[in-house]
Amino acid sequence: MLEVLILAVALSMDAFAVSIGLGSKHQRKVASLAVMAGVYFGLFQGLMPLLGYLGGKGVLGWVEAYAPWIAFILLALIGSKMIYEAFSEGVEDDISIITHRVMLMLAIATSIDAMAAGFALTLLDVAPLLACLIIGVTTLLFSMAGVFVGNKSGAFLEGKAEFVGGVVIVLIGLKILFM
């Protein structure tokens, strides 16, 4: 269960970083923006691993001998992508008006890697629905907090959060590979 909580925190760092950026750029209606970010990011971050888990269960019989390697490669790619993105400009810099359509696009973009991480859930001894609920709630809370942090501190922490999340996801992949 500890692995799921660590995975949830690491996966939420992408949404947390985007939320910091949103909060730093949009100074009005911070509370409603925080709720909107939390709901969108939490919902998608909770649903996407379930899709990855179901897909992983479907192919696990065929690739069972290679499953730890596949999980490691997927998590290493996700973590590396997050580390890379920590050093690049965020998409929220170009967003001037936050609409439901914009939040939907951001939620999908930040949760695609969670779908791939859902494959790793097939290798952990945990109930998948509980794991997805933990991931979704964790992301909801981190996203809401990110808007407030960004509003108060600017985008200073944005890249750092994404970097730490990427490193943790790579480490989880290594743990799965060597357990």
Q: Please, which pLDDT band fits residue 114 given cuts at 50, 70 and 90? A: confident
**DSSP-derived secondary structure for 20-51:** HHHHHH--SSHHHHHHHHHHHHHHHHHHHHHH
The number of folded domains in the chain is 1
Write the pLDDT tens digit of every residue in 13-54: 888 888 888 888 777 789 999 999 999 999 999 999 999 888
Per-residue confidence (pLDDT) for residue 67, from 0 to 100 = 72
Write the pLDDT tens digit of every residue in 62-112: 777 777 787 788 788 888 887 887 777 655 555 667 788 888 988 888 888
**Domain boundaries, position 65:** 2-178
Q: State how far the Cα of 150 lies from the Cα of 23, in Å rounded to an integer.
A: 4
Q: Please, which pLDDT band fits residue 60 given cuts at 50, 70 and 90? A: low
